[in-house]
Amino acid sequence: MNRQIKICHLYPDILNLYGDIGNIITLKKRLLLRGIDCTVQNISVKESLYVEDYDIFFIGGGQDFEQEILLEDLLVIKKPLIKKAVEENKTFLAICGGYQLLGNHYKTWDGVNLEFVGAIDINTIGDKKRMIGDYIFRCEDEKGLFDVVAFENHSGKTYISDNIKPLGTVIYGNGNNGIDRTEGVRYKNVFASYGHGPLLPKNPRLADLILKTSLKQKYGDWDLIELDDSLETKANNIMIEKIKYRIKK
Ligand code: GLN
């Protein structure tokens, strides 16, 4: 059977900080290398969204200003559709600002209250002091624990409700809020993280976990042949060693 995964890139012209589109490039490449077809559709402000047409939704990061630009379209048009897609177990990857907007609301550092989608029970409060830098967090897949390395730059401190699992545990850096050592969220088939970089190229196990989740949801199985990730793993290890060296200094 020819399998195909359709990716919807939401607000690509507005939310794409630090090359977050690299996550889509990684997902697509890792599917094509396995003989699985992959299409990508950009959907932005005022463009119609038919969630049943897609398997994976991607939302990148953006500054407070950019999050405000898309707010009317998000709340008037996209909000019910995104909530429906999340509840119907569609796979999401949401990064930083894109992560925040899946939550209930975001109060920016200068006091602007942004009502967001409310698809996930999280809330974000901006702070004058930004959380910036390379960071490491520990995730888990069917083979066990693995360390993810990424770059964070956010003023928002996100607090997740008790009934929601974090994506990972912070080993070094801030993560959701620099207080409770949680990073991101996993809710149904949503993967959300503060990790820029982009996140996936140096973290192939996380990329494959997202792909397996979507393939399992669409086709009921998720056997993915192993790829030669020696370069990706080397990049991950180099960054982790650099960060650990800084900690020791
Ligand atoms: N504007 C949000 C914040 O500052 C998200 C930033 C981002 O996407 N890097 O927290």
Q: At what angle do helices 204-219 and 230-248 cross, to 10 degrees?
A: 130
Between 210 and 67, name the one with better pLDDT: 210
- Is 90 exceeded by the pLDDT of residue 221? no
What number is the average pLDDT over the span 34-52?
97
Catalytic residues: 96, 196
Percent of the chain at pLDDT > 70 equals 100
Q: Residues near ligand 1 with C-beta < 6 Å?
A: 17, 61-64, 67, 96-97, 100, 153-156
pLDDT in tens, 224-235: 999 999 999 999
pLDDT value of residue 135: 98
What number is the average pLDDT over the span 67-86?
95
- Is 80 exceeded by the pLDDT of residue 222? no
Q: Any long-range contacts for 124-130 (C-beta under 8 Å, 24+ apart)?
A: 124/100, 124/156, 124/157, 124/158, 124/159, 125/156, 125/157, 125/159, 126/64, 126/155, 126/156, 126/157, 127/155, 127/156, 127/157, 128/155, 129/155, 130/154, 130/155
* Residue length of the chain: 249
The band of 247, judged by pLDDT with boundaries at 50, 70 and 90, is confident
pLDDT in tens, 99-155: 999 999 999 999 999 999 999 999 999 999 999 999 999 999 999 999 999 999 999
What number is the average pLDDT over the span 3-21?
94
Question: Which structural domains are found in the chain, ordered by start?
Answer: 4-248 (3.40.50.880)
The band of 246, judged by pLDDT with boundaries at 50, 70 and 90, is confident
The band of 67, judged by pLDDT with boundaries at 50, 70 and 90, is confident
pLDDT value of residue 205: 98
Ligand 1 center to 145 CA (angstroms): 27
Ligand 1 center to 127 CA (angstroms): 11
CA separation for the pair 33, 35 (Å, rounded) = 6
User: Which residues are paired to 141 by β-bridges?
Assistant: 144
What number is the average pLDDT over the span 37-48?
97
Ligand 1 center to 96 CA (angstroms): 6
- Is 80 exceeded by the pLDDT of residue 75? yes
* SS3 state at 20: coil
pLDDT value of residue 16: 87
pLDDT value of residue 38: 98
The band of 17, judged by pLDDT with boundaries at 50, 70 and 90, is confident
Residue nearest to atom 3 of ligand 1 (CA): 154
- Is 57 within 8 Å of 8 (Cβ atoms)? yes
pLDDT value of residue 80: 98
